Structures are given as C-alpha cells and as structure tokens.
Structure 1
Amino acid sequence: MKTLLYLCLVVYTATAVHLKDVEVKYPHYINLSDNDEVMQTVDLEEQPDIELLEDIFRNPDNNRYLLYTRDNPLVAQTLQINNTLGVYFSKFNAWKPTVVIVHGWLSDRNTEVNIALTDAFLRKSDVNVIVMEWRRLALSGYVTATSGVPAVGRRLGQFLEFLHRVTGAPFESMHLIGYSLGAHVVGNAGRELEGKVARVTGLDPAGPLWNLNKDRLSSSDGIYVEAIHTDGGVLGQGIGSAIADADFFPNGGTSQPGCLTSFCHHKRAWELFASSVTYDHFLGRECSNMLQVSLNTCRGKIFKMGNGDISKRGSGLYRLNTDRRYPF
C-alpha cells in the first residue's frame, strides 16, 4: 500500500511540475497583477492594441532611463539615448558597475520593486543604478504589453550600446534585472547586445503567453543568466520552468511561506533578491531534475542565489527553503 501511494505521488508530481519547453495550458481568463494586491482579470485571447503597438515600434523612446547613484540616491537624473552631453553632465560613472532595473506590468518608476532594489544596491555597493520606466506600454492590457516587450527590450539594449560608445562603460560591468514581464524585457535587451552583458537576472519571469515564446528570457541573453522562480504553480504568474543558466526554485518555486495569494508568491522573487543583495545568505542545493525540486530531495553542490556579484557564474537547477519574513 505504501509503495502504491509513493508511486502515485511520483506520477502526480512529475505531471504537476513544469519541465523545459513544455506548453502550459492557461485558461481563457486568468487573474494577474505585477503591482498591487488587486488582481486583474485578463483575457489571454484578446486582440492586442495594434495602434499603440505600432506607435511603440515607431517611437521606442517612450522608455525613460532614470539614474541613481550614491550622490543622488533619491532624486533621479534622466538620461536620454543619443544625448551625449546629458550623460557627460550627469553623475554616471563609467568606471563603476551599472545595474539596470526593469519593472513589470501595471507599474511605473515609483513601483515598490524599483525602490527596494535601488536602495539595496546603493547601500551595498558604489554603482550606477538605472531604473528603466516603460509605463506607457506597461499600463496597457497584458496581451498588448506582452506583444510590445521585444521592442522595449531592444531599445534598452540600444541605449546601453549608446552608453558604452560614449563613455566606455564595458558591457562586462553591466547587470540587467527584470521582474515578471520586465524579465523578458531585459532578456531582449541582452539579446540586442549579443549576450555581451555580464549578468541578466529574471525575477519570477512572467509565465502566461511566454512558455513557448521565442522572445522570452533565455540563457544566451548574457554571459551569466539567472532566474528566480516563486509562483510557477498551476495558474501561477511565473513561468515555472528552467530557462536560464542557473534556475532557483525557492521553497519549490510554486508557493512561498507566509503568502496566501498568487501576487504574494510572485513578488517574493524580488523581495528575496533584494535581501540577497544585502546579506548574500541564500544557499541553493543543486537538483538533478524538477522532480527533486518538487520533493525537496536535492543533494547536489551548493550555489548562492541572487546577490550583486557581477562576475558570478554557474549553471543548473537549485532548490532552497526560506523563512516567511524578511530577511527570509
């Protein structure tokens, strides 16, 4: 009897976890939100706003690039692509590492993830932090925002190429970080730069419409690409499958301690990452497959999750368990 129950558990778990490049069948309508506790009902089969998308493709400079440093940690300086004088007279320092933060859907420059990560990085290290705001598209419908992600990401890549060209800031000192839809934005930015940036981090990369999407975040988008998955369960907002060089699944990657809603599970990715920048204390255990991730039976090598190490390198699947409250 015990053997039968164990076999049933194995079969159930193997079908419940997401494997690489397996299509996840979402329902017609799903509840999503990247920015607040009020979930939005999204029609995943709705037609995108073609007029807005055409304008985004024609005018990609709807993006705003907001620079924060230790000299201006609270009041941003706005940088513009092809405005060389603006960069020269800003506090941007090409000799220091550059961290780029990209928010998700229904968000803008003032969203919590931007504030938390900017503060964590500037307290820990003397770096340039650039928050990219793409609110015009991000505040549109989910299907429309998803459709415009590649164009927004490519323009971010072109902006970083401009910074490299006029200041000499090396790609090898750039770390691109994106939350939810923003994870796919930074993936496309890295792709535009032919994978030359040192590091790309995806914080619970968005799942709906992205599982088999060729424009999603991938391991070729940077020298080292990391993904942290926290809401990859059935109907979860995250992609839930291995897509990077190193993929971390805190608490199994589908639900998080102390959380009762999908939104809470989802945002835990950036909360954990912010904590890791400060304390660098999360130790993942390598897993052979997703079944081990789900059953918490991983016995491989230890590898740290998150942190701000620009030279970090590694690969594999990792599981770790966290507490329910900061610093987790």
Structure 2
Amino acid sequence: MKLTLAFLFVSLAYTANAVPIEQREDVIYPRFIQFPDGDGVLHDVDLEDEVDEELLVGIAERNLYLLFTRRNPDAGQTLIINDADSIRSSNFNPNHNTVVIAHGWLSNQNTGINARIREAYLGKGEANVIVLDWRRLARSNYITAVRGVPAVGKGLGQFIRYLVGVTGARYETIHLVGFSLGAHLVGNAGRELDGRVARVTGLDPAGPLWNLNSNRINSGDARYVEAIHTNGAITGLGIGTAVGHADFFPNGGNSQPGCLTYICDHNRAWEFFAATVSYDHLVGRECSSSLQITLNTCRGGEFRMGNDDLTKFGQGRYRLSTRRRYPY
C-alpha cells in the first residue's frame, strides 16, 4: 500500500512538472497561497484581499535610489529626482555602464539580491550600480503591491530620464534588473522610457496575478528583454510563460538542483544571474517546443544566459543545465 501511494505521489509530481510551458498562461491560483519575503520567510497571501488605495497615492515618490560604485562599494549615495546636486555631487560616472536592481515583495535595500548582484558588478569592473528600495509599497499586502507595481515602475523610468538629462548618460548604457515583483516593475520602467534602455532582465518574474496581466514584463520594454525562469511549476512562485525576446529555463524552469523548496527555486534566478555577471559561463540551447524544454532535448543554437553584455541580443526559448552549488 505504501509503495502504491509513493508511486502515485511521484507520478503526480512528475506530471505537474511536465506540463508544457504554454499551458501556464491560464493558471488559476487558489485564493490562499504562500509567498516569500526577501529573507525567504513564507507569508500567507489572500489573492482576493482588499487593495490599500490610500497607500497607492503618490507611491512612486517614496522610491529610494542608492548609488554604489568602486569608490563607494558598501555605502550607498542617495540620488534624488529633481535634485541635480544630489546626482552631480555623487560618484555617478556617465562613462560607465549603469545597472539598476529592483528587489521583490516584502524586501528592501538590505535584501540579499542587492548585495550579491552589486558585488558581482563591482568585482568585475567599473559600473554605476543603483539599488532601488521600494519598500513602502513592497511591504504592503501582496495584492496592493501588485496593483502599485506599474506606478512604481513608471516612477523609476522618470528617475532614469532625469538622470540621463542631468549627467548625459546614454540609454544604451543602462540595464534594468528586477526579481519577482521587481521584474514586472523594471518592465514598466522600460515601458515608460519607450523601450530605449539597452536591457531589461526579469529574474523569475512573479506568477500570482500576473499570467494575464497586461502590465507584466514584455519584449517591448527594452532593446533586449531577457527572463530567467526558475520556479514556473504549476502554481509556482514564478511565471511559467515566455515574456521577453529570450527566455531561459534552467533545468527545465520548474525546480532547481540542490533546492528542496519553492523559495530556493525562486531565488536561484538572481543567484544564477549574479554568477553569470562574474563568469559568463551558463549557455543555453534553443528549444523548438515546450516538450523539448521539459525533456531536455533542445538542440538549437547556443546562447549565453544572463551576464552584463549590453550589446547582447537573441530570441527564443532556451534550456540549460546547472550544478547544485555556486557558481552553478
């Protein structure tokens, strides 16, 4: 009896993970789910909760922009929109590439993603690393955060436009990177700038309330839009469908080697990305179908996942295999 039940459980698990990617488009999440904060702690979420409309008023004005460079790798300098002095007196160098990092739900400037990606960039070379702290919205209930993401993203886009105007930086030197809800946020920022920035990278873009959401990250948000999907299993934390010019599905895009929880799978997206900034070593094969992604039978052309190359461009869906531990 125990053997039969064990076999049934394994069969159901395999079937869930083997569902082709396109079928995720109409996923209906249960009303009550759990979603992690930036420290990996699960929180109960009611997807029919009330939206805090009062909080959303002027929410983009609460955005905090912190600049890190090789001259100040550990202590961020605050950049303020409509305050040119805050920018001119900072270490921002328009001759260096700029990367903006946006965290996810219930997170802030101190969340692990920010330090890991910042250290990868500054450990490699000169760069302007701007950490967006949007905690005022991010710490609200999940459905309010989802509703406010487009406005916060628009605010980020307006800040970048102002930054370019003050410093003379070029849009083709700007890369927007966001994790989970932050992925949709940077997509909206790129849209506010009419897709002129060089790259937008979505790290396991959030799934709940986004599958059919017109405000989700898409290929029109930058010259090149890339997504890395690591937890797109049915009712997983990440969106399971292709959203950019190029979409990568490491290890099939559902669960990751060395992970025992959805949280670990979800976070692997930014861990993978940081590793590729340092080593540029993870290479995918283009897939012609979702079944190929699931069965690991992709035989198309090779394309590197992640990295900091702002001239990069590719299209299609790609699968690759990684190791269990850094640098994967």
Q: Give secondary structure in 2 for the equivalent of 1:209.
A: coil
Confirm or deny that 1:94 pairs with 2:97: no
TM norm structure 1: 0.94
Task: Report the Cα distance in structure 2 between the residues aligned to 1:170 and 1:46, rounded to whole angstroms.
Answer: 41
Q: State whether residues 150 and 188 of structure 1, in contact with CA within 8 Å, keep that contact through their aligned partners in structure 2.
A: yes
Q: Give secondary structure in 2 for the equivalent of 1:136.
A: helix
Task: Report the Cα distance in structure 1 between the residues aligned to 2:128 and 2:39, rounded to whole angstroms.
Answer: 28
Q: State whether residues 196 and 223 of structure 1, in contact with CA within 8 Å, keep that contact through their aligned partners in structure 2.
A: yes
Deviation at 1:94, TM superposition (A): 0.8
Amino acid at match of 2:26: E
Q: State whether residues 227 and 243 of structure 2, in contact with CA within 8 Å, keep that contact through their aligned partners in structure 1.
A: yes
Q: 1:203 is matched with which residue?
A: 203
Confirm or deny that 1:23 pairs with 2:29: no
Where structure 2 has 5 or more consecutive residues not aligned to the other structure, the ranges are 1-10
**From 18, 43, 53, the counterpart of 1:50:** 53
Q: State whether residues 219 and 244 of structure 1, in contact with CA within 8 Å, keep that contact through their aligned partners in structure 2.
A: yes
Task: Report the Cα distance in structure 1 between the residues aligned to 2:16 and 2:141, rounded to whole angstroms.
Answer: 33
Residue by residue, what CA displacement relative to the aligned partner does 1:175-217 show, whole Å, maximum 9, x if unpaired?
0000000000000000000000000000000000000100000
Residue by residue, what CA displacement relative to the aligned partner does 1:75-126 show, whole Å, maximum 9, x if unpaired?
0100000111111111001111111000000100000000100000011121
Task: Report the Cα distance in structure 2 between the residues aligned to 1:54 and 1:61, rounded to whole angstroms.
Answer: 9
Task: Report the Cα distance in structure 1 between the residues aligned to 2:177 and 2:25, rounded to whole angstroms.
Answer: 25
Q: 2:44 is matched with which residue?
A: 41
Deviation at 1:20, TM superposition (A): 7.5
Deviation at 1:15, TM superposition (A): 7.6
Q: Give secondary structure in 1 for the equivalent of 2:232.
A: coil
Amino acid at match of 1:288: S
Q: 2:3 is matched with which residue?
A: none
Amino acid at match of 2:306: G
Task: Report the Cα distance in structure 2 between the residues aligned to 1:210 and 1:21, rounded to whole angstroms.
Answer: 11
> What is the RMSD of the two structures over their aligned residues, measured on CA atoms?
1.7
Q: 1:115 is matched with which residue?
A: 115
Where structure 1 has 5 or more consecutive residues not aligned to the other structure, the ranges are 1-7
Q: Give secondary structure in 1 for the equivalent of 2:57.
A: helix
Task: Report the Cα distance in structure 2 between the residues aligned to 1:158 and 1:89, rounded to whole angstroms.
Answer: 20
Percent identity between matched residues is 58
Q: Give secondary structure in 2 for the equivalent of 1:78.
A: strand
Confirm or deny that 1:140 pairs with 2:140: yes
Amino acid at match of 2:75: V
Deviation at 1:61, TM superposition (A): 1.6
Q: Give secondary structure in 1 for the equivalent of 2:44.
A: strand
Task: Report the Cα distance in structure 1 between the residues aligned to 2:150 and 2:99, rounded to whole angstroms.
Answer: 20
Equivalent runs, 1:108-257 vs 2, <5 Å = 108-257=108-257
Q: 1:327 is matched with which residue?
A: 327
Q: Give secondary structure in 1 for the equivalent of 2:318.
A: strand
Amino acid at match of 1:284: G
| Residue-pair matches, total | 317
Task: Report the Cα distance in structure 1 between the residues aligned to 2:114 and 2:310, rounded to whole angstroms.
Answer: 19
Dislocated runs of 4+, deviation >6 Å: none
